Amino acid sequence: MSAVAREAFWHKITTEAKLLLIGIPVLLWTMAPIYHMMLFAFSAKDSAMSGALWPKEPTLNNFAIVFGQKHFYLHHFWLQFWNSFVIAAATGIITLFIATFAAFAISRLKVRGGAMVMNLALFTYFIPAAFLAVPMYRTMGNYGLLNTHWAMILAMVTLSSPYAIWVLKQASDKLPFELDEAATMDGASPWQLFRLVYLPLMVPSLVAVGTYALLLAWNEYLYAFLLLSRDTDITLGVALGNFLAADDSPWELLMATGLVYSLPPVVIYYVFKRYMVSGLTAGAVKS
Amino acid sequence: MSVLASAAPPDTAEGRFSLSRMTPAEKLGLMMIVPYVILFLVFVLYPVCYGLWLARNPASYAKLAADPIFLRTVINTVIFLGVGITLKMIIALFLSDFFVQDRWWIKILALIFILPWAVPSITTILSIRFMLNPEWGIINHTIFTLTGDDGPNWLNNPTLALALAMVVHIWKSLPFWTLILVAGRLAIPNDLYEAADVDGATTVQKFRFVTWPSLQTLWLTCLILSTLWSLGDFNSVYLLTGGGPADLTHVLATLGLRYLRLDQVEMSVAAVVCAMPLVIPLIYFMMKRLAK
């Protein structure tokens, strides 16, 4: 090996080592709480509490108890799972409708007052969510929606649509206006333009926005906690919080339920990752 | 300019108010924008006004000022934002440099790194909470195995508990901001780095003269947006400490719920209204910045 090649080789090794020096702590930092959750979920109670870093006798028993609803805290597990699903799905769909319409009207139809609506949406997007929680809770009470799924769905749509409109408007503005002109020349009505030209081109952004709204609603704790209270109405997240009420909480079951609850958003995220990343980064902060 | 938009009638008073004189495009546009406007009026404007109305009594503010928990909360919030957010954004800036490196294993690590953001807060924060359990938690177990001493009672010490809440906050939201900054870095033209290489620039110089000037505005925007959202971060504090011990780790986001539980809705809303002098300018700045 020549001296130059040797130097290049060592340079490569040291760069790689430096990167690993960052990469390994990042991995440990990221995975510690998640791994700890899995460790508990797959361990019997005694072994989970023993401080072992590896389940000595991995077991699926906790999951059997969770899925079989065989614990006081888990009597409505499947119903609560279903509640989480219904709320997340409804939020995703309604957000998509509202935001797509608004973005098309503002960006393509240049509706009067569009700029003002965009500002209202941006204003809502920036409000710290917890600050709106108590007024929202009282408002839902005034509307008679408290303890219904609609309270939660509408609250989540309110929180997700501003961002959705923002992302979709950014994406709409990038579509060439020649398309609109060509379609109009061919005799397309504005509605046909929306349906046949606009929607198909917007699919990637729509997927990003729909997934975002769905994840937001599935993962939300505070609003669900305030707006829903009956054991048969609450989401799985709130049910998990209620586990803590007991002095002797069944932690291994809590973690097993938590793992089941965390899986759908992770799967959805990875399935739609391609769209999510471009949508998120394009929309979150315009540089 | 769109054909549809230019086809609109001149903006006369008559044209503005008569539905029948609107073009089909205008009618459709109006119909499509109405759902969001209704949503805004009913679920944003009304709650905000109703909240302000609930918080209208000056006595609430006098009571707040007299409540030692409120003062402590304000200090906690300032520390949480000042230290927590700055730290988070600096780490995000640093890590964004790591994640733009072109290596197969860094690409895989990036996929894992996003997990805290994608997973619901409640499950992971409860997991962290149990890791910190003084008797059964894995952290004190490890400390005992290594040193033979009992570890600290992490969440029983308000200073430590607040610091850990910041750690949780950073753990949860770091991936998102790193991702945004990675996107920002990828947008920097590679020519600039090549030119810097030709000039024999060191890594530090490349950061100082190429990366930072290009990324500065984005970083500042992220810092402000992150501050706004972190003000509304209820989960990191509430799920880890519940505001305890002795209500000493509350931040503004969790204080509202404390007063609500004590059946003092007016106080709960008033506490949030107190943050408005900080929040409104930030929101205004962000709207200006993004609506350009």
Chain B residues in contact with A137 (beta carbon < 8 A): 260
Give the rounded percent of residues in chain B with a pLDDT score beyond 90: 58
Query: Which of A49, A117, A281 comes nearest B37 by C-beta?
Result: A117
List the single best residue of A24, A107, A134, A226 to mutate versus B (max B Cβ within 10 A): A134
Give every CB contact of residue B67 below 8 A, 6+ residues apart in sequence. B267
Query: Which of B105, B121, B180 comes nearest A221 by C-beta?
Result: B121
Rounded to a whole number of angstroms, the distance from the CA of B178 to the nearest CA of chain A is 10
CB B4, CB A184: distance < 8 Å: yes
The pLDDT, as a whole number, for residue A252 is 87
* B41 interfacial to chain A (CB closer than 8 Å): no
The string of pLDDT tens digits covering residues A93-130 is 999 999 999 999 999 999 999 999 999 999 999 999 99
The string of pLDDT tens digits covering residues A197-245 is 999 999 999 999 999 999 999 999 999 999 999 989 999 999 999 887 7
DSSP characters for A94-107? HHHHHHHHHHHHHH
Residues B259 and B257: their CA atoms lie apart, in Å, by 5
**A158:B231 CB<8 A:** no
* B3 interfacial to chain A (CB closer than 8 Å): yes
**B32:A117 CB<8 A:** no
The angle, 0 to 180 degrees and rounded to 10, between the axes of the packed helices A77-107 and B24-40 is: 140
Residues A38 and A49: their CA atoms lie apart, in Å, by 13
**A131:B256 CB<8 A:** yes
Give the rounded percent of residues in chain A with a pLDDT score beyond 90: 60
Residues A85 and A219: their CA atoms lie apart, in Å, by 11
Measuring CA to CA, how many Å separate A33 from each of A249, B10, B116, B137?
18, 61, 9, 12
The string of pLDDT tens digits covering residues B92-143 is 999 999 999 989 999 999 999 999 999 999 999 999 998 998 888 888 888 8
Residue of B nearest to A218 (CA): B120
* pLDDT of A26 higher than 90: yes
Q: How many helices (H) and strands (E) does chain A have?
A: 14, 0
Query: Which of A27, A193, A219 comes nearest B121 by C-beta?
Result: A219
Q: pTM for this structure?
A: 0.91
* pLDDT of A47 higher than 90: no
What ipTM describes this predicted complex? 0.91
